[in-house]
């Protein structure tokens, strides 16, 4: 999984299991990019991602790029 900023900035790759809550990844991304997790929204294919979602729930495909909306 790759998480990037709105203009593909701050792209960071994470390896996670299908059933891992995305909270771990999204909080780690915010920490590494010095963004406030309370003000950051994550979007997958135009739909906002919830912190308790898993890649399995949102149909994660290999190599998909996630974006934050700060």
pLDDT in tens, 45-69: 777 888 898 888 876 555 555 555 5
- Supply the pLDDT for residue 31: 92
Strand partners, 69: 41
Do the beta carbons of residue 15 and residue 28 sit within 8 Å? no
Report the number of distinct structural domains present in the chain: 1
Residues near 46 by Cβ (< 8 Å), separated by ≥ 6? none
CATH number of residue 55's parent domain: 3.10.20.90
Question: pTM of the entire structure?
Answer: 0.70
Q: Rounded to whole angstroms, how far apart are CA atoms 43 and 15?
A: 18
Angle (nearest 5°) at CA 55 between 49 and 57: 75
Whether pLDDT at 5 is above 80: no
Domain holding 32, by residue range, is 2-69
In percent, how much of the chain has pLDDT > 90? 9
């Amino acid at each position: 999984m790759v998480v990037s900023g709105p203009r593909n900035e701050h792209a960071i790759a994470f390896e996670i299991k299908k059933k891992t809550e995305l909270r771990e990844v999204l909080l780690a991304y915010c920490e590494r990019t010095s963004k406030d997790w309370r003000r950051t929204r994550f979007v997958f294919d135009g739909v906002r991602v919830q912190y308790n979602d898993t890649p399995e729930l949102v149909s994660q495909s290999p190599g998909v790029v996630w974006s934050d909306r700060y």
